[in-house]
Chain A
Amino acid sequence: MRLDRLNSLECFSLMYLQFYKFIYLHPFLKREPVLYNCMVVVMLLGFSARQIQAQTPFDGIMMPKNNACVFAGYSTGSFNQYWEGSKLRKNETIATVTRKSYAWMAAVGIWENLNVYAGFPWIQTSSSEPNGGKLAGAEGLQDLELAVKYQLLNAKGKLGTTRAVATIDFTTPISNYLSDYQPYSLGLGAPQWTYQALVSHQFSNLIYVRANAAYVWRGNTQAERIYYYANGSHYSDWMDVPSAWNFGAAIGAYLLGDDLRLEASYSDFASQDGDDIRPYNASQPTNKVEATQVGFLLQYIPDFAKGFGLIATHHRTLEGRNTGKVNATSFGLTYQFSYRKNGTNHEN
């Protein structure tokens, strides 16, 4: 059993976090799939780093400590249909909405079982031409993201290794983008805390499975109007962004002697409350968002470029509520390195 590979599975927790977070953040595309896809890639950074490390004989399974990884990724996602409440529709006012995201992230292995992450994306949104609305898209920095991931369990048995990982993730806006400008807004504009538990199991035949559950707490976002309607009047420029649950599962395998990883995943995201998009009206941050998605991931760690890794993902939205029927694709490059070659592992 390759324990280093199992280690790398930890990173999935964050990846999944990011996955639903960015996909479902908003009713039609506000902080949308594109972004989240990108972030999925970003979060894989940690994973890649470990994979790379696995190929470094000197570090072996102790790799996480004193290692860091940087990531750069690009993602693009779009939709030409969205769910207005539960009704799937087109809207030529916005035509096809596209979101492009450029993301940077760094991951650091602090201890053997503790990783920290920091990153932020730059996002651009627009509608295809022609469209009936002639509305300007938006662009700029979105949110700063900070995360801590902690390994709770790492148990080796006859049938492989079972691991449990807990993650806490925090995001907050770092520019003055307007969340109340959907579907072009860059993000939800609210602080967000995500709490996730993940369990994975790696069989000795290199097949792995994973399940995760997360609660996503979302605060209020500030609009630029003093009144809005969301199942009734609200006399404030603050909007309550509904908190949500996210559940996911995945199955994957390592091929080509570990150089290549393939994975298929499923996720289900559901806001706890919120209002529906009203007929032919714009979505807003208060909406109740639901989405069911499937995703595919390919990760390649070439032998010829030590420390580097490549990742590609594709996600498709199957079902939803108050969200775009988004398909998104992302590409990312990771580079992992040891920042203190001779450092001491204080944990041991």
Chain B
Amino acid sequence: MKTKLYIALCTFLLITACEKEIPTHYVYDSYAFSNVDPEGGNWKTTLISSPAQIVLAEPNAVNSAEYIAELTQLKSAQASLSQDVKNDMAYWTNNPVLRWNEIARELIAKYNLIPGPNDDGTYTLPNAANPAGPPPFPFAHPPYACRALAYLSVAQLDGLITAWHYKFKYNRVCAYVADQQVQNFFQPNAIPAYPSDEAVIATVSKEILSAMFPLEKDYLANLELKHIAAIKASGACVQSDVDAGVLIAKEIAKVALQRASSDGMKNAQAPKAIADSIKNDAFTRFGWSWSNQEIPQRPIGLTPLFGKVRMWNVPNIELVRPGPPPAIGSAAYEASIVELKEYAGNVTTERRRIANYWSDGLGTYTPPGHWNEIATGIIVDHRLNPIRSSRVMAYMNMAIMDGGISCWDAKYYYHYPRPIQNIPGFKTILGTPNFPAYTSGHSVFSSAAATMLGYFFPSQGSLFEQMAKEAAISRLYGGIHWTFDASAGLEQGKSVAQYTIEVAKRDGAE
């Protein structure tokens, strides 16, 4: 008997010991870049007119007394590095574009919480003027998320183009090249040190994200501090390299946030009177309208005027507005009901897996965040340098945001009901969102992202397209979208992304 108890106890200890560590961030090491893009300073910027808009003085020469003093300071710091700083260097790596993108996604997941009803059945909306709330600001829903990621990535790219411009203009070598006694903690890459591209990323990311997530200002400032400390210890730059990077970052962030403050987002969550008139217009036009089904009913859908937000690369929203959805009661509509009932009645393992895999619902980083995570892995696979990485992220996120704007334009223009509104007794395995059905946001976001990734990494293009299709049909498996929401959304995302591809083709990077 006792033997049996011992066996059970040992089994327990074994199993306990085997429990997996669950990663809390993407693990990648500092790496040698496939290319250093010496012409990167000539690429076309998006926010500023050109790198020359930000003036950066010529740095001290590597044989100057000032520079030698900076080297001495660096070597002295490296002589007594704490384990914390070493860990931080390993965390930030030499391509921190990806790390700050990941931080943005985490904040999105943290703030992607829909405000619940008050005790009296009313709803209070987050208010940028009083971010502490309750409810806290922002509610980082997909439109908010795609916009935050777009501004972050575009500002990073403009910052790096500016940095590259001066790096190859002044050609000041890395500290570890100037002085053999300086230890280089990262993979060597032949990129001039002045200004520090990593410092640009640290500060511009902190500035943009602090504006997008005002309650996280202290948290982000602390991250920036630790990142800058890691940069200064890594052996590539001296203090003046870092300072120059910070200077560029602050200028770029100002321009980016200026655009953000006037892009129309602050009006996107329209007041009830406007939301009602949009709904009435749709009913007059088409004979149907969407209504929220929650208890208590939410009086306003999510961001009815997000479709009016300024786009990045599409000149006119109507150029990419899809045609109308099938009329209620039409053959295509009835066929979709049959399809949805089939999925709801037969939740297979595979359909359920797909529905949940792409769900990216409340409390997560949203579909734009999901595609940024996908892009991160591909960027590391291809060993892209920071400016190349941020180019992928910037153009992809511009296309995703343009896709979101176009999608929301269609959603509130057509105001099409959700399946649970029109099919009596219908039940879903995913939560139905608080906005009209047509077209599917997941389909548009995913198709736009897949189209951009296919453009940058053509050998994997068909894979991305497959993924986007799976993301689209996942919404049908979940029971929250019609067949035509998904199919039209895929087309819409593709056509929106085409405008961004046209811009990318002419940016001088190819």
Contact = CB atoms under 8 A, between A and B. Distances in A.
B23 to A, nearest CB: 5
Contact of B24 (A132, A232, A278, A281): A232
A170 B116 CA distance: 39
B113 A281 contact: yes
B22 A236 contact: yes
A134 to B, nearest CB: 4
B364 A227 contact: yes
Contacts of B370: 227
B331 interface: no
Interface in B101-149: 102, 105-106, 109-110, 113-117, 134-135
A91 B294 CA distance: 10
A281 B135 CA distance: 13
Closest 6 CB pairs of A and B: A280-B116, A224-B356, A132-B295, A92-B295, A136-B427, A132-B294
Nearest to A91: B116
Interface of B is mostly: loop
A232 B106 contact: yes
Nearest to A127: B427
A131 B295 contact: yes
Interface stretch (B8-16, B256-264, B322-330, B445-453): B8-16
Interface string B226-258: 000000000000000000000000000000000
A60 interface: no
B106 A193 contact: no
Interface of B: 1, 4-5, 8-9, 11-12, 15-16, 19-20, 22-26, 102, 105-106, 109-110, 113-117, 134-135, 293-296, 344, 347, 349, 352-353, 355-357, 359-360, 362-365, 369-370, 373, 420, 426-429, 431-432, 479
B24 A217 contact: no
B357 A226 contact: yes
A148 B25 contact: no
Interface residues of A, number: 50
Given A91-B116, A181-B429, A227-B365, A191 B15 contact: yes
Given A227-B373, A229-B110, A280-B114, A114 B24 contact: no
A135 B428 contact: yes
A233 B105 CA distance: 9
Contacts of A204: none
Contact of B12 (A217, A233, A240): A217
A148 B3 CA distance: 13
Interface string A191-223: 101010000000000000000000001011001
A111 B2 CA distance: 13
B23 A236 contact: yes
Contacts of A168: 5, 8-9, 12
B352 A93 contact: no
Interface string A152-176: 0000000000000010101000001
Contacts of A234: 22-24
Given A93-B295, A150-B1, A233 B16 contact: no
Interface string A226-256: 1111001111101110000000000000000
A131 B369 CA distance: 30
Contacts of B365: 227
A138 to B, nearest CB: 9
